Amino acid sequence: MSSKLKKAVSELEKQFNVPLSEVKKIIKDFHGEMSRGLAGQKSSLKMIPTYVDKPSGGEKGKFLALDLGGTNFRILEVELRGRGQLTPVREKKLVLDKKYVSGKGENLFNFLAHCIKDFSKEPRSIGFTFSFPVKQTGIAEGRLLHWTKDFSAKGVVGKDVVRLLSEALLRSATYNKRIAALVNDTVGTLAAHAYHDEDCDVAVILGTGTNACYQEEVNNISKWRGPIYLSDRMIINIEWGGFNKLRSTPFDISLDNASENPGAQILEKMVSGMYLGEIVRFIIRGLINKKIIFKGKNIPIFNEPKGFIAEYISRIEADRSPGLLDVNAFLKNKGIRNSTGEEREALQKICHLVSKRGARISAAALAAVLTKIDPKLLRVHTVAVDGSLYEKHPNFAKNIRLTLQETFGRRALRVRMALAKDGSGRGAAIIAAIATSL
């Protein structure tokens, strides 16, 4: 590697490293923010009460579930058969057009209502997974606090999203559907996994966005002023993407300034799939501008916003061939014909540094949640995890596991990470079942 490139990479190594001492500091700060959030004090963790506990496994019936929170919108019909058994009956996935994501909110909800109408003519209760920060005021009631993940549909922030969807259903003359529950995707994932695994008390999403929820003692939620609530535990939606007690690099600051929501979702911007590619892009663009890599050439993937996406990081890190043949093929396809082996190695190393930092920060946050529930980790905990980053990135899941081992030693064996694919939709159906039985 040229000495300038070598020097730049070793500087980045220092900036993106998260040593064990920093993991421990994150855990401590995270605990502080969790407690303040639960007490209703100022905190970067919203710690939102969800008005629901884990399912018993006995819930039964046919329900519709909606899943809105990323590039796709899904509708599914689910049959709950009790004893932890569930059958997805039908499912439809629709790509959300940009005009709904950033246009008039009313159009977004009209679109959802039309999809529901087309999908089912039967009378059904609906579990509505809406994966954004919502201040719930009931099991089927909640106001959107702010958009994340580059959504910006107008006229929705501050409004009750269940009401917006119910009104759209009426506008589309759909009278036989009722929204029984409003659910965050983390909560849906927890419900879906806990339906058949009673050790499951935490769920994490690591995809376009990131967040987690867990089961808390109602006595510890000192801000809780809700109506009579039957269980002594409740699921808390942490909204951990908002955590802001983290050390930022100059690249994080540039990314934040250029984002739709500057100053917000600081952890999410260091961890989730929507942003990892952007961080790599900012780094490489800086090196290109200094003529340290790719002969200072102007290359679209590194020059255009969102030009370099998380899937590229996965592909680049997965290449184990000598000389990095697949990275070479990738770069050629993107217009960089004669990269050197050293440049490819540097690019791979940078992807690795950025994704590893994301994995270590999420592991630290997860360790904080686990020790909030069970300070000495005396019990087994299943953590249900969903999201493309966790599922598809070649090292992300492994790096989380390694960080937990470093932090907890042998006790890390008591933490079981379970991939809970597509849990959020099914979980919404389960929560709709709980809501209709109240």
- CA dist., res. 112 & res. 74, Å (int): 10
Taking the least distance from each CB to ligand BGC, the nearer of 131 and 166 is: 131
Give min distance, CB of 145 to ligand BGC, in A: 9
Q: What is the number of H-type helices and E-type strands within the chain?
A: 16, 13
Give min distance, CB of 120 to ligand BGC, in A: 25
Taking the least distance from each CB to ligand BGC, the nearer of 243 and 302 is: 243
Give min distance, CB of 209 to ligand BGC, in A: 2
404 HSE (CA, 13 A, CB side): 27
Taking the least distance from each CB to ligand BGC, the nearer of 59 and 268 is: 268
| Residue that the structure tokens 């070479």 belong to | 328
Tell me the angle at which helices 325-333 and 310-318 cross, rounded to the nearest 10 degrees.
150
Backbone angles phi, psi at 213, to 5 degrees: -140, 165
Taking the least distance from each CB to ligand BGC, the nearer of 328 and 388 is: 388
Taking the least distance from each CB to ligand BGC, the nearer of 185 and 343 is: 185
Give min distance, CB of 265 to ligand BGC, in A: 6
Give min distance, CB of 241 to ligand BGC, in A: 5
- CA dist., res. 77 & res. 87, Å (int): 9
Taking the least distance from each CB to ligand BGC, the nearer of 96 and 402 is: 96
- CA dist., res. 151 & res. 162, Å (int): 18
Residue nearest to ligand BGC (CB): 209
The DSSP call for residue 190 is H
Length of the chain: 438
- CA dist., res. 433 & res. 59, Å (int): 6
Q: Cβ contacts of residue 394 below 8 Å, gap of 6+?
A: 314, 317, 318
Give min distance, CB of 261 to ligand BGC, in A: 10
- CA dist., res. 434 & res. 306, Å (int): 40
Taking the least distance from each CB to ligand BGC, the nearer of 132 and 396 is: 132
Query: CA-CA distances (angstroms) from residue 133 to 92, 119, 129, 286, 361?
Result: 25, 27, 12, 33, 20
Under the rule (CB under 6 A), what is the footprint of ligand BGC? 69, 131-133, 148-149, 184-186, 205, 209-211, 239, 241, 268
Taking the least distance from each CB to ligand BGC, the nearer of 136 and 328 is: 136
Give min distance, CB of 212 to ligand BGC, in A: 8
Hey, what amino acid is at 51? Y
The DSSP call for residue 46 is -
Give min distance, CB of 238 to ligand BGC, in A: 9
